[in-house]
Chain A
């Protein structure tokens, strides 16, 4: 899917100069053999269903009425793309993604700075930061939902909001969804940024201090430019991750109050409504949007993906 500028360290080639062909052929075979199971599982779960989705998206097909299945060409795509609800969901997804990634980048950077510099309880802080990463998303969604809930929550009484119903409006619902997403995934950003901070050469900062640079100038001119790769990698992964947000929305609003995201729309069409054809068309559009985002990042910002590993 994507061009990866990966520069793997040269493997320890065991093929000596003397015994080239036999030995290296055996090595090739072993390498492919060892990789086969993993590649096969990944193909089974992604490639086949994706092709299947592409194919079915060209049909008008509902599980409840299998006999009505008929070829409709690109009509499903046209239906989706001309539907105002689809564009509303695109906007909601975009809004959630943009706000979470921007806020997480700022908070994550702050956390990384504290972990980098902290003299006190460095280990405790690092462990604490990992907790949200380990918590199941559904559970963090419940925690935040109940905190803001009228019946069970403490937020309203703490902040003197009386009967303000957070989940009865679009923007207040989105606020809570975004808050829980930020809480849950900031650790990931801050750990990547911490790794980036560790790469900034210390003497550069010291030299700048000697030259009379303020802390802010050092941050802007020395630290951040030297962490560009880590920042871009964090932003890329978090953007793609936030773009497919699902769990929080499902638990908090179930897509009510115009908080439906693209993932939720796809799920609702294929699983809840069993409108397989139309749902698959939306799924394919979601997939294409992810490809587009990845492409723009990797080409446009020249992210060096040899520095990343996958994560969700």
Chain B
């Protein structure tokens, strides 16, 4: 049915999409390889003299290296704790009969819609009062709380699809409860948990509002916030190329994750939107 002409149209459309999505990323990469002084004199897309200088600059800058450590540490911890909490809730929702299920799902949804900035003022006060301001836990706690809705919804949609009877079948065949759970349910649940972990990590990695509001120093400031305050090697120069080098460093892991787990991420983002 598909005529040759329309086939070519689809191919053209696919190519256009590739250009549109990859182009800005490529632009940041190109900028990161330009000489700091070249910016402003030469306005082309590609660098004239390729250089690693910017990468050396950012890794010599304490602000960036500490921010990178903060971002990795805070995001990993928040992802881990958040996914554990979300798994417990999702298991309960998919498996157990108890009052308040709908309430929990609605509450999570309400938080997903919450304007984060509305909370920043009061949290700023509260954190300063109890000593969480400018600390890792001070960011981890809000990250967990705001990443939970996505994780809970993704996981409970996923867990509902698991055929839980298989566990009982294993028990009938002589496995203990724990064995049945570990050998049958855990392998089935693992991909969903993993998907939720990726999405949660993206969320924490991406945060900016909490990052700039609840931190004030190298101690806890994550990369996105650090980039906004970055001054580069010299206080008197626009650190455009150095910021881009830092941006590339932060983007590489994300691109790798996207390339490796493309299918999982799509499944996670649309789970619940597609039934059956």
Contact = CB atoms under 8 A, between A and B. Distances in A.
Nearest to A12: B164
Interface string B40-73: 1001110000000000000000000000000000
A309 B18 contact: no
B142 A45 contact: yes
A290 B223 contact: no
Contacts of B11: 118-120
Contacts of A133: 202, 258, 265, 269
B24 A183 contact: yes
A270 B104 CA distance: 30
Contacts of A237: 113
Nearest to A138: B224
Contact of B254 (A34, A119, A136, A247): A136
Given A4-B106, A244-B115, A35 B92 contact: yes
Contact of B145 (A11, A32, A46, A251): A46
B89 interface: yes
Nearest to B261: A130
Nearest to A7: B102
Contacts of A119: 2, 7, 10-11
B98 A38 contact: no
A126 B206 contact: no
B113 A152 contact: no
Given A38-B152, A135-B251, A310 B109 contact: yes
Contact of A267 (B24, B117, B262): B117
B33 interface: no
Interface string B235-276: 000101001100100110011011100100110011111110
Nearest to B272: A309
Interface stretch (A71-79, A218-226, A278-286): A278-286
A309 B117 contact: no
Contact of A309 (B40, B104, B150): B150
B121 A279 contact: yes
Contacts of A151: 39-40, 238, 240
A128 interface: yes
Interface string A240-258: 1001101100110000000
Contacts of B7: 119
B273 A114 contact: no
Contacts of A147: 24, 27
A169 interface: no
B266 A191 contact: yes
B118 interface: yes
A52, A139, A142, A286: which has the most chain B beta carbons within 10 Å? A139
A298 to B, nearest CB: 10
* Chain B interface residue bracket vs A: 35 or more
A136 B145 contact: no
B22 A37 contact: no
A140 B25 CA distance: 8
A146 interface: yes
A152 B244 CA distance: 12
Given A143-B27, A144-B24, A309 B153 contact: yes
A27 interface: yes
B222 to A, nearest CB: 10
A166 to B, nearest CB: 14
Contacts of A17: none
Interface string B220-232: 0001100110000
Given A156-B43, A195-B274, A310-B149, A294 B157 contact: no
* Chain A interface residue bracket vs B: 35 or more
Nearest to B94: A11
Contact of B117 (A4, A14, A240, A263): A263
A106 interface: no
Given A31-B92, A48-B126, A127-B259, A132 B120 contact: no
B150 A310 contact: yes
A192 B108 contact: no
Given A50-B119, A312-B203, A131 B258 contact: yes
6 contacts: A31-B96, A42-B108, A53-B122, A129-B21, A134-B258, A283-B115
Interface of A: 1-4, 6, 8-9, 11-15, 24, 27-32, 34-35, 37-39, 41-42, 44-46, 48-50, 52-53, 56, 110-111, 114, 117-121, 123-140, 142-144, 146-147, 149, 151-154, 156-158, 183, 187-188, 191-192, 194-196, 198-199, 230, 233, 237, 240, 243-244, 246-247, 250-251, 262-263, 266-267, 269-271, 276, 279-280, 283-284, 286-287, 290, 294, 305-312
Closest 6 CB pairs of A and B: A310-B112, A31-B98, A309-B153, A270-B121, A310-B149, A49-B122
Interface of B: 2, 7, 10-11, 13-14, 17-18, 20-22, 24-25, 27-28, 31, 39-40, 43-45, 85-86, 88-89, 91-102, 104-126, 141-142, 144-146, 148-150, 152-154, 156-157, 160, 164-165, 202-203, 205-206, 208-209, 212-213, 223-224, 227-228, 238, 240, 243-244, 247, 250-251, 254-255, 257-259, 262, 265-266, 269-275
Given A3-B106, A38-B89, A114-B14, 17 more contacts: A11-B97, A41-B145, A45-B145, A46-B114, A132-B24, A133-B265, A137-B224, A143-B25, A147-B27, A152-B43, A198-B274, A233-B273, A246-B208, A267-B117, A270-B120, A286-B117, A290-B115
